[in-house]
Amino acid sequence: MSHSLRFLSYFSTNPLKSSALSRRKLRPAAVPQLRSELSFAVGTHFIPHPEKVDTGGEDAFFVSSHNGGVLGIADGVSGWAERGVNPALFSRELMANTSDLILDEEVNFDPQMLLKKAHAATSSTGSATVIVAMLEKNGILKIVNVGDCGLRIIRKGQVIFCTRPQEHYFDCPYQLSSEKAGQTYHDAMLCSVKLLEGDTIIMGSDGLFDNVFDHEIVTIISDSKDVAESAKRIADVASTHSLDVNFDSPYALEARNKGFDVPLWRKILGRKLTGGKPDDITVIVGHVLCS
């Protein structure tokens, strides 16, 4: 007891000093802040062109859980079939190489370098449009895109970001090719976007975005219970629209904007170019989670 009294007496002899020491003593210790990490929950769905069901179509894609997640889609250019080349071989090998090289030291989680090395490693004859998205755990989404595959980011029911297609002219997109005349990683469009928990990204081949409007995608996302359901429902809508000759699709709108339309006599009768575009349809939906 006497020891305790002396201790209390010591603090009472200098009120100012006592006050300062008390503040230091009572100040809570700093709590180390845990850094949250972001990643994707992913759902995918693929529907081949109605005439290519038996061969599996010409789109190819992959999903990797490395870091926050890596997603890729390649769309084989069907024109190669006229030369007796299977257009699917190039897109499939390109995606396989892209997936295999994610951990390459030289790539260092750089999507443009990843695309460079994957293209160089692809020996099949053909060409493909391609998009790759790499999510860092700090929420930075890095995107590399050649051609007309696309990506949308939805936040709180609104599309806040979309890629833009690269085309030489209407219906002739940029593409990585086995021929030297094609595009390379130098021609790719590069983007970086900061994602937040709760964001949703939608990646697709042109078979998706030629046939489905952004507002339709937003509605489907908001009405779906999970990413798997979202991906399937979006792909199903794209497939339905693609076969509807009366649907005024994004593809038809773009065609008319570029000067393609019905003959003049049909325009006089009030007609216009409409219809979806039958194609392979690849959909990847990624919902951003925090851990």
Tens digit of pLDDT for each residue in 75-123? 999 999 999 999 999 999 999 999 999 999 999 999 999 999 999 999 9
CA nearest neighbour of 146 among 205, 105, 202, 92: 205
Range of the domain at 93: 38-203+279-290
Q: Say if 210 falls within a structural domain.
A: no
pLDDT at 17 over 70: no
265, two tokens? 């006599």
Considering the domain boundaries, does residue 13 fall inside one?
A: no
Do the domain assignments include residue 192? yes
**φ and ψ at 243, to 5 degrees?**
-100, 0
The verdict on residue 24 lying in a domain is no
Is 242 contained in some domain?
Answer: no
Q: What is the DSSP string of 16-33?
A: HHHHHHHHHHHSPPPPPP
Under 8 Å CB-to-CB from 181, ≥6 apart: which residues? none
pLDDT tens digits, one per residue of 181-212: 889 999 999 999 999 999 999 999 999 999 99
Q: Give per-residue pLDDT as tens, 223-281.
A: 999 999 999 999 999 999 999 999 999 999 999 999 988 677 677 767 788 999 999 99
**Residue 249 resides in a domain:** no
**Count of structural domains within the chain:** 1
Structure tokens of 38?
A: 């972001």
Residue 48 lies in a domain: yes
CATH number assigned to the domain comprising residue 152: 3.60.40.10
* Residue 251 confidence (pLDDT): 97
Could you tell me which residue, 7 or 277, shows the higher pLDDT?
277
Spatial separation of the C-alpha atoms in residues 206 and 73, rounded to whole Å: 10
250: closest CA among 263, 238, 236, 262?
238
